[in-house]
A and B are shown apart, each in its own frame.
Chain A
Amino acid sequence: MRTIQVEQITEAVAQMCKEAAYYLPEDVYQALKKGRETEESPVGRDVLDQIIKNAEIAKAEDRPICQDTGMTIVFVEVGQDLHIEGGSLNDAINAGIAKGYTEGYLRKSVVAEPLFDRKNTQNNTPGIIYTEMVPGDKLKIEIEPKGFGSENKSDIKMLVPADGVEGVKKAVLDIILHASCNPCPPMVVGVGIGGTMDKAAYYSKRALLRPLTQRNAHPDYAKLEEDLLEMINKTGIGPQLGGTTSALAVNVEWGPTHIAGLPVAVTICCHATRHSKREL
C-alpha cells in the first residue's frame, strides 16, 4: 500500500489556491479573445479589452484576477489503496487553504456561521470538500475557488419529466435572465441535470471544471450545450453592459434520476472561471 504524508497534501493545496487566483486557465483566456473578435457592441468590446488586459496583468505580476478570491471548493479523488499518514485528509486540505490564502495575499471571504454572527474565520477555511473513493493508489485534488457575485445568481428548478428539453431550456433561460448583468459576464454556465436536488447542484459545480472547448461526450447533451449557449448569447446581456458575448460556454453534466423527476441546477460563474489540479 502506498503512503502519503498530510504535509504533501497541505503544500499542494496551498500552491493550487495561489495558482488558481492568479492564472486564468488558457481555455478561458482564449474564449475571451474569441469573444472580443465577435462582440458586436462597442462598449462590450471595451469591457472585454479590460477583462483580457486584467488577466494578463494578474498572470505577469502574480496578482489575484479578482478581489473575490472565492470560497474554495475542493474535489478530491482518493485511491482506495492509498494510506494517508499524519492526520486527517480534511484537516490537511483546510491547512492548505489557510496557508495559500495567507501566503498568497488572497482575500479571506468565509464567515463561520451564516445568519447571526457572520464572523470571518480569517483564513478562508473551511473549504467545501467533496471526497470520492476510486480504485488505485493516487490522490487527485482539484480546486475551484468560487466567487459569490456569480454564486448568488445560481439557482435550481425541480422540473417534471413532461417538461422535457424545452422545459430545461426555459428553466436555464429564466435563471440567466434573472442573473442578467450581475454575475460579471461573460459567464461560464454549469448545468447539472438529473440526480436529486443536491446532486444536480453538484453536477453543475463539476461542470465548470471541464475545458470550455470540450463538449459533452453524449451527442444529445453536446447539442443541448450548443443550443443553450446560442440562446444565452441572444439575451443581450453581453459583457456586463450589453452585447452578444453573454456566455463563453455552457457545460452540462448529467446523471440518473427518479421516474418522477427532472432536476435542473445552474451554477453561474463569472469570466474569472478559475481552477487548478494536482495528482499526488
Chain B
Amino acid sequence: MAEKIRITTPLTEEDSRKLKVGQSVLISGVIYSARDAAHKVMTEALARGEKLPIDWHDQIVYYLGPTPAKPGDPIGSCGPTTAGRMDAYTPTMLDQGIKGMIGKGSREPEVIESMKKNGVTYFAAVGGAAAFIAKSVKKYEVIAYPELGPEALAALTVEDFPAIVVIDSEGNNFYEIGQKPYRKL
C-alpha cells in the first residue's frame, strides 16, 4: 500500500477536502466516540433547541462501543461499528460541523450529499480488528451520557489510528471502486 498520510485532529474542512478515496491514513489527537443511542439523544436534544455536550466543529466522530478496559489498560477492544445505522441522524450531525467519521460499511445517498456539502470525509477502520486497533488508543474518557454504558459519548486520545478514506468529500466511494474489478458474476 502507498505511503500513509498522517492526520492530526482537529480536522479542518480544507484538510478534509484534500483527502482522496483509497488513501491510507494514521490519525492522531482526540476523536469522539458515539453510536446509536448517543446519536438518538443528541439529535433529540438539537430538535429541542438544546446545546450538545461538545462542540463538534472540525471534530472526528468514531462509531464505537468498546468492551470494558481491563485493569491498567486505557480501553478494551474497540473496533468500528456499522456506520449505516447512524445514517438517519448523520446529516443533522454533519451540520454541527463534524469533518470526519470513522466506521465501517456503506452509507445512504443522503449522507454522501451532506458530506459533499459540508466537506466531510468518511474513514473505514477494519471491522473486527478490535484488539489490534486498541493499541493505538492511549486514553478513553467519558464526556457525556454515562448511563448509556458502552454507548456513552467519550473522548479517545489516539496515536496513529489506522484507517482508509472510503468515501471522500466529493462522494467517491471505495466500496464501489474496490469491488468492481473482482466482481465476476
Q: Give chain A's interface residues, CB within 8 Å of chain B.
A: 40-43, 46-47, 50-51, 53-54, 57-58, 61, 63-69, 105-109, 118, 120, 122, 149, 152, 173, 180-182, 184, 231, 234-238, 240-244, 270-272
Among B81, B124, B129, B183: residue with most chain A CB under 10 A: B129
Q: Which of A53, A108, A118 contacts B150 (CB 8 A)?
A: A108
Q: Min CB distance, A83 to chain B, in Å?
A: 37
Of B12-20, B45-53, B68-76, B93-101, which stretch is located at the interface? B68-76
Q: Cβ of B78 and Cβ of A67 under 8 Å apart?
A: yes
If A108-B149, A238-B179 are given as contacts, then 8 extra A-B residue pairs at C-beta distance below 8 Å, sorted by A number, are: A41-B181, A42-B1, A54-B126, A64-B67, A105-B68, A149-B81, A240-B126, A242-B174
Q: Cβ of A241 and Cβ of B175 under 8 Å apart?
A: yes
Q: Cβ of A120 and Cβ of B149 under 8 Å apart?
A: yes
| B60-103 with Cβ < 8 A to chain A | 64-70, 76-79, 81-82, 84-85
Q: Which of A66, A67, A243 contacts B178 (CB 8 A)?
A: A243
Q: Give chain B's interface residues, CB within 8 Å of chain A.
A: 1, 22, 37, 64-70, 76-79, 81-82, 84-85, 104-106, 124, 126-135, 148-150, 162, 164, 166, 174-175, 177-185
Among residues of A, the one whose C-beta sits closest to the C-beta of B148 is: A120
Q: Cβ of A57 and Cβ of B132 under 8 Å apart?
A: yes
> CA–CA, A54 to B67, complex, Å?
15
Among residues of A, the one whose C-beta sits closest to the C-beta of B127 is: A184
> CA–CA, A16 to B108, complex, Å?
38
> CA–CA, A184 to B129, complex, Å?
10
Q: Min CB distance, A247 to chain B, in Å?
A: 13
Q: Min CB distance, A141 to chain B, in Å?
A: 23
Q: Cβ of A66 and Cβ of B128 under 8 Å apart?
A: yes
Q: Min CB distance, B183 to chain A, in Å?
A: 3
Among residues of B, the one whose C-beta sits closest to the C-beta of A119 is: B147
Among residues of B, the one whose C-beta sits closest to the C-beta of A47 is: B126
Q: Cβ of B69 and Cβ of A184 under 8 Å apart?
A: no
Q: Which of A67, A182, A238 contacts B64 (CB 8 A)?
A: A67
> CA–CA, A208 to B85, complex, Å?
25
Q: Min CB distance, A245 to chain B, in Å?
A: 10
Q: Cβ of B84 and Cβ of A182 under 8 Å apart?
A: yes
Q: Cβ of A236 and Cβ of B184 under 8 Å apart?
A: yes
Q: Cβ of B178 and Cβ of A63 under 8 Å apart?
A: no
Q: Cβ of A272 and Cβ of B128 under 8 Å apart?
A: yes
Q: Which of B70, B133, B182 contacts A236 (CB 8 A)?
A: B182
Q: For residue B79, which residues in chain A have a CB less than 8 angstroms away from its CB? A: 66-68
Contact A105 to B134, CB < 8 A, known contacts A67-B77, A242-B182 = no
Q: Min CB distance, A106 to chain B, in Å?
A: 6
Q: Min CB distance, B121 to chain A, in Å?
A: 16
Q: Cβ of B1 and Cβ of A43 under 8 Å apart?
A: yes
Q: Cβ of B1 and Cβ of A46 under 8 Å apart?
A: yes
Q: Min CB distance, A78 to chain B, in Å?
A: 32
Q: For residue B81, which residues in chain A have a CB less than 8 angstroms away from its CB? A: 67-68, 149
> CA–CA, A40 to B124, complex, Å?
20
Q: Which of B124, B148, B177 contacts A240 (CB 8 A)?
A: B124
- What are 25 A-B pairs at a CB distance below 8 A? A42-B1, A43-B22, A46-B1, A57-B131, A57-B132, A61-B131, A63-B70, A66-B130, A67-B67, A67-B79, A68-B81, A122-B149, A152-B85, A180-B106, A181-B104, A181-B105, A182-B105, A234-B182, A234-B184, A236-B182, A238-B178, A238-B179, A238-B182, A241-B174, A243-B182
Q: For residue B178, which residues in chain A have a CB less than 8 angstroms away from its CB? A: 41, 43, 236, 238, 241-243
Q: Which of A61, A64, A105 contacts B130 (CB 8 A)?
A: A64
Q: For residue A149, which residues in chain B have a CB less than 8 angstroms away from its CB? A: 81-82, 104-105, 127
Question: Closest 3 interchain pairs by CB?
Answer: A242-B178, A236-B183, A184-B127
> CA–CA, A238 to B65, complex, Å?
25
Among residues of B, the one whose C-beta sits closest to the C-beta of A53 is: B132
